[in-house]
Amino acid sequence: MATQPNHYISPEEYLDIERHAVTRSEYFHGVMYAMAGGSPQHNRLVSNLNALLWVQTRGKGCFTMSSDMRIKVPETGFYTYADVSVVCGNGEYESGDVLLNPTLVIEVLYPSTAYHDRGFKLQNYQRIASLKYYMLVSQERMLIDTYSRRGDEWTHDVAGLPHERILLPEIGCELLMSDVYEGLTFSGQPAT
């Protein structure tokens, strides 16, 4: 997260600034935070995930959203952008352009933002009533953490091998690790 401004910004001011901004920022309790830019690894992972989920959600009452979709956690007032999200049923929006009800949220981790994504964002996203899955995808090695809501409890699973599958029954999808990491390299070696 970036440094804090000198004055409080209301949610309305944040949305007005953000709708005209070239770069994206998160917002929490009156403060805007600049978000990290994308690396080739990051962009390839986001593209792979969007493609895999788009194909599997077609015709099932769910749809994918890109990283340009702003998301709000209604309970805490946190505004952010996920790298990939899936909505099942009708999308619910604040002010027409802020998603309130994602079913799946995926963040591709940067070394500089991993702590934030695993802590602050996880705690906030888990407060969204519609959210069933929160996935953290490493771009440094083949590794995906999946947090799944089962009733009122959250479970945590980790996948790190090419043949492993991440099952997402609430949205009727599964992700094969080798498909998610297709075309990526780590230290000059192919991911799969």
Which residue ranges form the domains of the chain, and what is each CATH number?
Answer: 39-190 (3.90.1570.10)
62 is written with which tokens?
A: 């769910």
User: Does the pLDDT of residue 1 top 60, yes or no?
Assistant: no
28 is written with which tokens?
A: 């929490």
Which pLDDT tens digit goes with each residue over 130-188? 999 999 999 999 999 999 999 999 999 999 999 999 999 999 999 999 999 999 988 76
d(Cα 72, Cα 66) in Å, to the nearest integer?
A: 15
Q: Return the ∠ at Cα 107 (arms to 77 and 5), rounded to 5°.
A: 45
- What is 28-47 written as a DSSP string? ETTEEEEPP---HHHHHHHH
Residue 124 is predicted with a pLDDT of 96
User: Does the pLDDT of residue 90 top 60, yes or no?
Assistant: yes
Q: Which residues contact 183 (CB under 8 A, 6 or more apart)?
A: 44, 48, 191
pTM: 0.87
Residue 192 is predicted with a pLDDT of 64
Mean of pLDDT over the chain: 90
